[in-house]
Amino acid sequence: MSTFQAPKGTYDLTPPRSATFLAVREAISAPLRDSGYGYIETPGFENVELFARGVGESTDIVTKEMYTLTTKGGDQLALRPEGTASVLRAALEANLHKAGNLPVKLWYSGSYYRYERPQAGRYRHFSQVGAEAIGTEDPALDAELIILADQAYRSLGLRQFRILLNSLGDKECRPVYREALQTFLRDLDLDEETRRRIEINPLRVLDDKRADVQKQLTGAPKLRDYLCDACKAYHEEVRALLAAAGVAFEDDEKLVRGLDYYTRTTFEFVHDGLGSQSAVGGGGRYDGLSEMIGGPELPSVGWALGVDRTVLALEAEGVELDLPATTSVYAVPLGEEARRVLFGVVTELRRTGIAADFAFGGRGLKGAMKSANRSGARYTLVAGERDLAEGVVQLKDMESGEQTAVPLAEAAAELAKRLG
């Protein structure tokens, strides 16, 4: 066993399980790629200030969970705890919003880092696929993103997830609500840290999971009672578009999400089979984030779905993905001449797009056939000295067990025909 192990709260992805994670990433990104979203990749670390300003100084992510480091040059950097701020920073830096085609639609996939107490479904390193639509205020855009996430989950075979939906208002109506909420919260019996949060971002107190806090929140003013007419109309349009598309959702007036930058539409995908860590993804509109990080006014909306959480949701529902075998043909040479010849056949097969593997290491027939079986290959090519003398190879169908001699020169064409 190795002396070294993965750091606490992280995990390694190894075959065969890693194939499921790849399939989940593919399924989530496929509807995005079909809807005009282009791929973007950002560094694994950014300037600390980007997240302090964008995510919010009062959030647990910034105050407790960021991995920060000081470079030799004295720069303060942080491993990215989420994707939106980085993607928006990159889009602004590349002037994508000035190309004249708004919204700028982007999708991404990668690892993110938060120093949290490790538990099932919550890691210190986790994987997400996310999407952002930058530069346009349109309820149809909010609805599009929710519909695409719903489509991705349904394509994977997930059924037992719910979509929670809320509106957080905008810069016109939220300050009035904020003041009413602060007045209510200041009279409660809360600890010092929560009291500090009341002054910085009182909406985050509503998201407190502690039972003693939730009990005291009964009777708290409701944001929906404070929404201005424009925000009400916007939210109703999002709801109407989702309903027309046949996407079921639940109104959740307590939903605020854990980041300070959200405005208006906010949503969460939850799965009841995951226990306390029930959120598998979520997002919302963040119309003021661009200005918060020094950019122009660019109303935007986006989401991120957890790949790890989605895999756990699939397991909770007992959904097994139909993953194609990584190998279609497995070549087993018997002797040096066959080794040289079959290696050439495998190379030719790969060039034509057929997934092929080879029995490396000069093992005997029995050991090599066991490897062929484990590879999941549909066909095995076997050749020894006598076969080569006759100019043939033995082609074995691993499903039926049927074996036929095929002319060596026609082996690649025969396999291509059989594999379609």
pLDDT mean over 137-141: 97
Full domain range(s) for residue 287: 17-173+227-317
pLDDT digits (tens, 9 = 90+) for 243-257: 999 999 999 988 876
Round to whole Å and give the CA distance between 289 and 145: 18
pLDDT digits (tens, 9 = 90+) for 10-45: 999 999 899 999 999 999 999 999 999 999 999 999
Does residue 145 sit in the same domain as residue 40? Answer: yes
Does residue 277 sit in the same domain as residue 351? Answer: no
The answer to whether residue 322 sits within a structural domain is: no
The number of folded domains in the chain is: 2
Does residue 311 sit in the same domain as residue 351? Answer: no
Round to whole Å and give the CA distance between 27 and 152: 6
Does residue 414 sit in the same domain as residue 371? Answer: yes
**CATH code, 345:** 3.40.50.800
The answer to whether residue 10 sits within a structural domain is: no
The answer to whether residue 99 sits within a structural domain is: yes
Dihedral sign for Cα atoms in the order 317, 303, 259, 181: negative
pLDDT digits (tens, 9 = 90+) for 346-390: 999 999 999 999 999 988 899 999 999 999 999 999 999 999 999
Task: Name the token pair of 13.
Answer: 């992805």
Do residues 106 and 94 touch, judged by C-beta distance below 8 A? Answer: no
Does residue 360 sit in the same domain as residue 298? Answer: no
Does residue 310 sit in the same domain as residue 245? Answer: yes
Does residue 396 sit in the same domain as residue 312? Answer: no
Does residue 233 sit in the same domain as residue 380? Answer: no
Residue type at 286? Y
Round to whole Å and give the CA distance between 253 and 20: 35
Does residue 167 sit in the same domain as residue 71? Answer: yes
Do residues 76 and 274 touch, judged by C-beta distance below 8 A? Answer: no
Residue 215 has pLDDT above 60, yes or no: yes
The domain boundary, picked from 276, 291, 317, lies at 317
The answer, yes or no, to whether the previous bond of 31 is cis (omega within 30 of 0) is: no
Do residues 75 and 106 touch, judged by C-beta distance below 8 A? Answer: no
